[in-house]
Amino acid sequence: MSAARPRRRPLGLLGATVLLALLALLWPGPAAAQGQGPAVARVRLANGLTVLARENPTAPVVAISLGVRMGTRWETRENAGISNLLQLMVVRGTARLDGSQIVEAADRMGGSIDAYGDVDLSEIAATALARHWVEMLELVAEVGLRPALHEGTTRAVRDFLLRQIRNRGDKPYDVGLDTLSARLFGDNGYAWNPLGLKESVERLDREALLKHYRRHYVPGQMVLAVSGRVKAQEVAAHAERLFGGMQAAPAPPLSPAPLPAPAGAREVLEVPGAQAQILAGGLAPAVTDPDHAAVKVLGTVLGGGMAGRFFSELRDKQGLAYTTGVLYPTRVDRGHILAQIGTAPESLERSEAALRRELERIQQEPVSDEELRVAKAYLLGSLAMDRRTNARQAWYLASFEAAGVGYEFLDGYLAAVRRVTPADVQRVARRYLSSLRTVVVKPPTR
């Protein structure tokens, strides 16, 4: 039995292209360009903490992002997962409030507060009705500066994370992704999911969390971004009141493990499931690399929604794919580009061969001007759609500021995407897709 063919597209290619093109051309940028959108003000407190305020009076909601340069990039195999565990803990109790009181306080303000750890940045994210933004900022400061990290709660949250880690081992796609990441990055912190590794998370306790907190929650490593119906001067004044008393401290050392040498290889794993997963990936450029924008366009040409080659060729025309796409997450250091396809087990061999052909074709043949135009429209339109809310605006401000490229980065990135040529796409395809590691995950052979 071959893989089921997909349902017909809800939009024709022309309709989708026009919609995305309009989005890319009309949606305003996130910051700073005069007359193009809400301006952003940057203030650096005396202790080193950076404050960004984006005045946006159009919606009665304010979003706050307290970003910390902390994540798997700073972790080792000994403490993998500690950043995410710490973030889950800071919103589960402070010296003054327990977890339920924190949730109830946010709810009374018409908003929410949460925290998570990722690879390059950990965030405390909050939203509130505009009339409560000062109270919400005070709550963010409360959880960020005075976490209780109770031992009993730590054990409960740790056990919850261990269950999530075990669950990943039962999911074919997650097994494939985790295996490929481990092969590409070795002992580097980009090798594991922010959940961490079972053997390291099992060892984490309150003492380890306190040490990690004191090491990373230093003002020079933190960015406070506020977007919404606020005044920049008032944001700066309240930030000084709430965070100005933090003592300056040195940044934690960062000594990432060297990456394994790139090499083509293929690995087959067996995990129970209805589908087979094929993941082919290699190292890709960092956010500061001149190739960054071109590789984003490359990934969109191949896997950019229904207009991408993988969808049109592998799913629509050949009926091989249930799911397919390309991942190229933005990373401060070298990241990865990943081509993927989910297919019926009996279609595994044909699907892998078809995926390889598409990866080879884009290296051998320049994309057409029309295909490039559609890919750019999809890429820029998707970014515009993702930045519609104040919450996402605050996240973008904090993440790029914390990455060291400044919140203005997106202005240059949009221009760089528009400058990408067919020759650029072919050049980066040859550079980053010529030697890929492949992980195949299939159901056990009966």
Reported as a single tens digit per residue, the pLDDT across 40-94 is 999 999 999 999 999 999 989 999 999 999 999 999 999 999 999 999 999 999 9
CATH (domain of 85): 3.30.830.10
Beta pairing class for 50-55 and 222-228? parallel
DSSP state at residue 191: G
Do 146 and 195 lie in a common domain?
A: yes
Sign of CA dihedral 85, 87, 88, 89: positive
Do 231 and 117 lie in a common domain?
A: yes
Are 79 and 208 a contacting pair, CB within 8 Å?
yes
pLDDT of residue 310: 96
Are 263 and 437 a contacting pair, CB within 8 Å?
yes
Do 18 and 127 lie in a common domain?
A: no
pLDDT of residue 43: 98
pLDDT of residue 263: 84
Distance, CA of 46 to CA of 212 (rounded, Å): 23
Do 279 and 317 lie in a common domain?
A: yes
pLDDT of residue 445: 85
pLDDT of residue 35: 37
How many of the other CB atoms lie within 10 Å of CB of 46?
A: 9
Structural domain includes residue 313: yes
Are 240 and 152 a contacting pair, CB within 8 Å?
no
How many of the other CB atoms lie within 10 Å of CB of 422?
A: 16
Structural domain includes residue 179: yes
**Contacting residues for 243 by C-beta, under 8 A, at least 6 apart:** 45, 47, 49, 141, 145, 219, 222, 224
Do 141 and 276 lie in a common domain?
A: no
Structural domain includes residue 152: yes
pLDDT in tens, 356-366: 999 999 999 99
Do 166 and 276 lie in a common domain?
A: no
Residue 64: beta bridge partners?
126, 226
| Average predicted confidence (pLDDT) for the chain | 92
Number of domains forming the structure of the chain: 2
pLDDT of residue 37: 64
Do 164 and 89 lie in a common domain?
A: yes
Cα 257 to Cα 188, 332, 339, 386, 434: the distances in Å are 5, 15, 25, 33, 24
Structural domain includes residue 433: yes
The per-residue pLDDT string of the chain (446 residues; one tens digit each, 9 = 90 and over) reads 333 333 333 334 444 444 444 444 333 333 333 335 678 999 999 999 999 999 999 989 999 999 999 999 999 999 999 999 999 999 999 999 999 999 999 999 999 999 999 999 999 999 999 999 999 999 999 999 999 999 999 999 999 999 999 999 999 999 999 999 999 999 999 999 999 999 999 999 999 999 999 999 999 999 999 999 999 999 999 999 999 999 999 999 998 889 998 888 999 999 999 999 999 999 999 999 999 999 999 999 999 988 899 999 999 999 999 999 999 999 999 999 999 999 999 999 999 999 999 999 999 999 999 999 999 999 999 999 999 999 999 999 999 999 999 999 999 999 999 999 999 999 999 999 999 999 999 999 87
Do 269 and 165 lie in a common domain?
A: no
3-state secondary structure 287-306: CCCCCHHHHHHHHHHHHCHH
Structural domain includes residue 346: yes
pLDDT of residue 11: 38
Do 130 and 186 lie in a common domain?
A: yes
Domain final position from 187, 209, 243: 243
CA-based angle 96:100:105, to the nearest 5? 75
Distance, CA of 286 to CA of 332 (rounded, Å): 6
Do 269 and 187 lie in a common domain?
A: no
Do 98 and 193 lie in a common domain?
A: yes
Do 156 and 200 lie in a common domain?
A: yes
Query: Which residue, among 398, 428, 430, 400, has the nearest Cα to 414 in the 3D structure?
Result: 400
Query: Where do we find the tokens 């061969």?
Result: 353
Structural domain includes residue 30: no
- Provide the domain limits for residue 348: 13-22+262-442
Query: Which residue, among 372, 179, 342, 363, has the nearest Cα to 273 in the 3D structure?
Result: 342
SS3 72: helix
pLDDT of residue 373: 97
